[in-house]
Structure 1
Amino acid sequence: MQIKFYKYQGTGNDFVMIDNRLDTFPKENTKLIAHLCNRRFGVGGDGLILLEKDPDTDFKMVYYNADGNQSSMCGNGGRCLVAFAKKLQIIDHKTTFSAIDGLHHAWVAKDGTVSLQMIDVDTIEINQGYCFLNTGSPHHVEQVTDLKSYDVKQKGSEIRYGALYAKEGSNINFVEKINPDTFALRTYERGVEDETLACGTGATAVALAMYATAETTATTININVEGGKLAVSFDKKGNQFTNVFLVGPATFVFEATIEV
C-alpha cells in the first residue's frame, strides 16, 4: 500500500498530513499511524492529521497522537492543516473548518503566518502551585524557575501519570516569566509522552492562565517555545475568555510517498 503524505511543522511541532477527502486511509489502523509517526522507522512526527470532507465547512480535521490514537484538539496542527488546505487550493486565505472540539475560523497572512481561533474558555482551576484548564485539550500549567535546565520529561511524566490526572492524563506545561507580556514555555505532551518543541493548545493555556493569575495584564501575549515564537490574543468578558487566537508560522517541509 502506498500513501501520499505531506510534512508540515509549526514552531517545530511537526505533523504527517494526509489528504483523505476520498476516505481511503485506514483510520482504525493505530499501528500504521504510530508507524508513520515513528522517527526511526516511518516518516516522523508529533502527530498525524487527516484532512477530510465536511458538509458544513471547508474541511474536517481528524488528529492522531504519535501513539496512533485519535486525540483532542491540536493548535499547531490546526494551523498547519490550514496551510495544507491552502496548498491543496481548498481555501484561499480564510477558512472555517470542523475539529473534535467544534468549529474553528482561521486565516493565512501574506507571510504564511496562520491565525487560528481557539475555543472559548470559561473555567480555569487555580490551585496551589498550578492551574488546570481545557483549551481544546487538557493542560496543567505550572510556573518554574530556570526553565532552560528544567527536566521537563521527568517532571512532566511524574505529573502526567500521577494522582492528579490518573484517569485521563493531561499535557504538562512549565512556564517562566520573561517580561510582563512574554513567557517561555516547555511542554510534555500526552500521546507523544515526551517534550515537544511546541504545543499550540499549551501556549493558549499558558497565556490564559497567566492572565487569570494576574501574572500579566496583557491580552496579547508572546509565548517563546523551544521551536520558535507564538502569540495568543483574547478578549475577557466576565468570566469568559473569548475571541482566543493562536498565531504563528505553519511551514511546508516536503511531500513524498511511503510504501507500508
Structure 2
Amino acid sequence: MNKQIKFYKYQGTGNDFVMIDNRDLEFPKSTDFIEKLCDRRFGIGGDGLILLENDEKSDFKMVYYNSDGNESTMCGNGGRCIVAFAHFLDIFEDKTTFDAIDGLHKAEIKNGIVKLKMIDVKNISTDGNDFVLNTGSPHYVKYVKMLNNYNVFKNGNEIRNSETYKKEGINVNFVETVSDNELFVRTYERGVEDETYSCGTGVTAAALTFMDKNNQTSVAVKVLGGQLKVYAEKNGEGFTDIWLEGPANQVFKGDIAL
C-alpha cells in the first residue's frame, strides 16, 4: 500500500499553493514529485508548493517551490498563506515571526486577513518608464494603459527571456494607475512561466514604484484574484517597514499517495 501524505490547499487573492506540514521532515524533496503535485491535471494543482518546517530562531520556517519543482526566492502571497496555515495549526495566536529564504518576517492575522512584513528595499532602478527592484524576488515593473486587454503572457515572456534576464529570470509586472491611491497589477511569473492571478512580491514592487513617484505611504492594489494593500516608509533611496496585506484562505485538504 502506498504511503499517504496529508496536504492542504491555500489561496491568497487567487495565488494558490499546496501546503505541507513538514515538521517531521518526511516529505521527499524531489523536483519531479513537487512538479507533479503542482500539476493541475495530474496532481493537486497550484502555483507553488510550500513546506512548513521547524525553525530554531522563529515560530516556523517557510520553504517555497515554484510549480516547476525548483526551490525559489520569496513569495509574498505564499508567505501570507503559510501564516494562515500556521495559525490553523495553532503554532501562534495572532502575531508571529517566521524564517524564509530572504530572512525573518513578522506577520499578523485577524479575521482571515494577513499582514506580512516584507524585506527592506534599498534602491529602485529606473530608466524613467520601467523599474527593476528586489522585494524578496526580482521584479520588472512596467506602466501601461488598458491593462484589461494587455497581452501579459506575450509581453511578460519576452522581457523575462530577454538577453538581460534570460539566465537568472525575472518576474514581470504590468501596472495601470486606477486613481490617486489604487493600482491594477497583472504579473508574469518566472518558474510558473505564465500569468498568475496575483503575485505578492510583484504587487509590493509595483506599489513601491508608485509610492516613490507620488510620495505616498500606502496604496490599494487590484489584481485578477482580488484586492491587496501595501504600506511602506520612504528611507533615502529605498523603503523600510513594508507590509503586504490581504486575505489568505484554506480551500480544501486531502491525502495523496507518495
So what's the TM-score if we normalise by structure 1?
0.97
Contact 2:211–2:218 under 8 Å retained in 1:
no
**SS of the residue 1:61 aligns to:** strand
Percent of aligned positions with the same letter in both sequences? Answer: 57
Q: CA deviation at 1:149?
A: 0.5
Q: How far does the alpha carbon of each residue in 1:185-206 deviate from its partner, in whole angstroms, 9 at most, with x for none?
A: 0000000000000000000000
Aligned residue in 2 for 1:226: 224
1:186 aligns with 2:182: no
User: Any gaps of 5 or more consecutive residues in structure 2?
Assistant: none
- CA RMSD across the alignment: 0.8
CA distance, structure 2, for counterparts of residue 154 and residue 34 of structure 1: 23
Q: Tell me which amino acid in the other structure corresponds to 2:183.
A: F
Pairwise mapping of residues 17-96 of structure 1 onto structure 2 (< 5 A)? 17-27=19-29, 29-96=30-97
CA distance, structure 1, for counterparts of residue 253 and residue 94 of structure 2: 21
CA distance, structure 2, for counterparts of residue 70 and residue 36 of structure 1: 14
CA distance, structure 1, for counterparts of residue 215 and residue 147 of structure 2: 22
Q: How far does the alpha carbon of each residue in 1:12-64 deviate from its partner, in whole angstroms, 9 at most, with x for none?
A: 0000000000000011x100000000001000000000000001100000000
Q: Tell me which amino acid in the other structure corresponds to 1:87.
A: F
User: Any gaps of 5 or more consecutive residues in structure 1?
Assistant: none
Q: How far does the alpha carbon of each residue in 1:202-245 deviate from its partner, in whole angstroms, 9 at most, with x for none?
A: 00000111122x2x332111110000000000111222300000
Contact 2:152–2:186 under 8 Å retained in 1:
yes
Within the candidate set 4, 9, 12, 1:10 is matched to 12
Q: CA deviation at 1:181?
A: 1.1
Aligned residue in 2 for 1:246: 244
Q: Tell me which amino acid in the other structure corresponds to 1:100.
A: I
Contact 2:59–2:91 under 8 Å retained in 1:
yes
Q: CA deviation at 1:250?
A: 0.4
Q: Tell me which amino acid in the other structure corresponds to 1:132.
A: V
Q: CA deviation at 1:128?
A: 4.2
Aligned residue in 2 for 1:200: 200
**How many pairs are equivalent?**
256
CA distance, structure 1, for counterparts of residue 85 and residue 75 of structure 2: 15
Q: Tell me which amino acid in the other structure corresponds to 2:116.
A: L
CA distance, structure 1, for counterparts of residue 123 and residue 84 of structure 2: 30
Aligned residue in 2 for 1:162: 162
Could you list the structure 1 runs, at least 4 aligned residues long, displaced by more than 4 angstroms after superposition.
Answer: none
Pairwise mapping of residues 90-169 of structure 1 onto structure 2 (< 5 A)? 90-109=91-110, 111-169=111-169
**SS of the residue 2:205 aligns to:** helix
So what's the TM-score if we normalise by structure 2?
0.98
